Amino acid sequence: MSDTLPISIDVNGETVESLVAPRITLADFLRQELELTGTHLGCEMGVCGACLVLLDGKPVHACLMFAVQADGCAVETVEGLTRRGVIADLQKAFHERNALQCGFCTPGMLISAHGMLSERRTLSREEIRDALSGNYCRCTGYEAIVDAIESTARSRTTKAAEEA
């Protein structure tokens, strides 16, 4: 177990080269080695969605992947999305609607929301709820989260129409 393997991952737009133990998960690598603590661990079995990150643009559970499996991939976390400003409107909608309480599920919720909003322009409330079926939130009761994603989808559609 003392053996390590070299990996090279693009994390939030920067190339990270590291020697990692084969058993370290991507989530632990991000949190412990890179101090990107916005990625949270809630169940470590791919159920709760707190650890979601983007792997080559798609939401994946960072707790279910080993860091070595991400070798050569691009990983983006909530910190990266924040810095790029691509979810600023979504974060604003979450804030104004108070679509979070303790905030522990929030990074995963934002990754899921970003994922669904990247794929679809129009989303019904039922579709949003369905797309959040892998994100557990104990605090909010979900409705405000659905509201925030719905309003972001709507404003993005309006903005796209205005720009067209």
Partner 1 sequence: MDAAASRLDRPNSYIGRSVPRPNAKRLLEGKGRYVTDLVLPRMLHAAFVRSPQAHGRILTIDTAEAAALKGVRAVITGKDLESLCKPWTGTLDHFQGMKSPPQLPLPIDRVVWSGQPVALVVAESRAIAEDAAELVVVEVEELPAIAELSSALAPGADTVSPDLDDNLCFTSTIDSGGVDEAFAEAAQVVEQNFVFGRHTAVTLEPRAIVADYDPSEHRLTAHHATQTPYQFQDIYSRHFGIPESQVRVVAPDIGGSFGMKLHVYHEEMAVVGASILLGRPVKYVADRMESFVSDIHARDHRVKARLAVGAHGRITAMDVDDVTAIGPFSTYPRTSAVEGNQVVRLMGAAYDFSAYRGRLSVVFQNKVQTSQYRAVGHPIACAVTECMVDAAARKSGMDPFEFRSRNLIPDDAYPRRSPTGYQFEKLSHQACLARLREMMNYDELRREQAELRARGILRGIGIAVFVEITNPSPAFYGVGGARISAQDGAIVKLTPAGEVQCLISVTEQGQGTETIVGQIVADGLGVRREQVRVMTGDTDVTPHGGATWACRGAGIGGETALQAARILKGNILSVAGLILQARPDELEMGDGWIVDATTRQQRLSLTELARIAFFRSDTLPPGTQAQLSATYHFAPQGYPFAFTNGAQACHVEVDAETGFVKLLKHWVVEDCGRVINPLLVDEQMRGGVVQGLGAAFFEECLYSEGGQLTNGSLADYLVPMACEMPEIETAHIETPTRDTELGAKGCGEAGTAAASAAAMNAVNDALSGHGVLLTQIPMTPARILKALGRI
To partner 1, the closest distance from the beta carbon of 128 in angstroms equals 8
Task: Determine the interface stretch with partner 1 among 65-73, 113-121, 140-148, 156-164 (rule: CB under 8 A).
Answer: 140-148
Could you say which of 60, 68, 116, 140 contacts partner 1 (CB under 8 A)?
A: 140
Could you say which of 50, 68, 117, 123 contacts partner 1 (CB under 8 A)?
A: 50
Estimate the crossing angle of helix 143-163 against helix 106-119, to 10 degrees. Answer: 40
| Residue 33 binds partner 1 (CB under 8 A) | no
Could you say which of 142, 154, 155, 156 contacts partner 1 (CB under 8 A)?
A: 142
From the number of C-beta atoms within 10 Å of its C-beta (0-12, 13-18, 19+), residue 126 rates as exposed
Is residue 157 within 8 Å of residue 117, measured between CB atoms? no
Could you say which of 27, 70, 75, 78 contacts partner 1 (CB under 8 A)?
A: 78
To partner 1, the closest distance from the beta carbon of 162 in angstroms equals 26
Residue 54 backbone phi and psi in degrees, to 5: -95, 125
Q: How many whole angstroms separate alpha carbon 129 and alpha carbon 123? A: 10
